[in-house]
Amino acid sequence: MATTTDFSAAALAELARADAARALAEDVGAGDLTAALVPADRRARARILARQPAVICGAAWVEAAVRQVDPAATVHWLVGEGQRTMADQVVVEIEGSARGLLTAERTALNFLQLLSAVATKTATYVEAVRGTRAQIVDTRKTLPGLRLAQKYAVRTGGGTNHRIGLFDAVLIKENHIAAAGGVKQVLQAAAKVAAQAAFVEIEVETLAQLKEALDNGATMILLDNMDLPTLREAVRTNDQRAVLEISGGVTLETLRPLAETGVDRISIGALTKDVKAIDFSMRLKEI
């Protein structure tokens, strides 16, 4: 039921290149006035350290930022993408123009700290539901312009991507139901565009709505803000006829009991919306 996103090496490199180009244009503008104080022929070696444990994510973005200012730079990862690092561990070594490394530093670290934070948080949530049938799923609550990067980070952390945007899947919510005239009417309308969508999902808030959705052929249902007893009853009522997803107010503390109700998916906006950057620092020396 996940949407198919191309995160192949080639696609990832192009995505990172475009993201890094925008970020560098925003940061560098007409030129890095401070890096210009360093002799143009000076070379340096940089080491990026993780100041706290994390799941590393964002290698393609780091490399894109560095190589857009110094195409000849060499990058050697000591902790691979998706692997865990300990506090104060060197995760990558970079060699190249001192000016280039200084100019790329903040952009590279910004991507690394954000994407590693998303991957790390996702991995924590995935571990919390281990042994249940529930998948951890992201949402569209992403930073504008960085949705694919953040969804890639969710995937790196072991999570599953929901729809990428409004264009690739149908998610019918309360306002859609009201505007269309009811559950039956909106599902009938959705059937006409189902062939264009990765999936058609409808949100319900009560057991009565769940039964109505099932009776009208729903194959994927979002259970919104239901308490545990209601969720257990919803799973019994569904009897594996449709994929059941939970959404709304999910926290790490409430996650395990929710997963143990027997639902298939738990979507969590906090994976991409409420993240605290992982602390990385770069140390540079002349060579």
Active-site residue (options: 147, 173, 211, 232)? 173
Distance CA 147, CA 114 (A): 12
- Identify the active-site residue in 141, 147, 184, 211: 141
Is 273 catalytic? The answer is no
- Whether 276 is a known active-site residue: answer no
Annotation says 224 is catalytic = yes
For residue 279, the 8-state DSSP code is -
Binding site per annotation, positions for substrate? 106, 139-141, 163, 173, 203, 224, 247-249, 268-270
Is-catalytic flag, 192? no
Which residue ranges are tagged as binding site?
Answer: 106, 139-141, 163, 173, 203, 224, 247-249, 268-270
Single out the catalytic residue among 224, 233, 260, 279: 224
Over its C-alpha atoms, the chain yields an Rg (Å, rounded) of 22
Catalytic residue selected from 47, 51, 106, 147: 106
- 84 annotated active-site: no
- DSSP codes, 36-83: GGS-TT-EEEEEEEESS-EE---HHHHHHHHHHH-TT-EEEESS-TT-
Q: Active-site residue among 32, 70, 201, 203?
A: 203
- List active site positions: 106, 141, 173, 203, 224
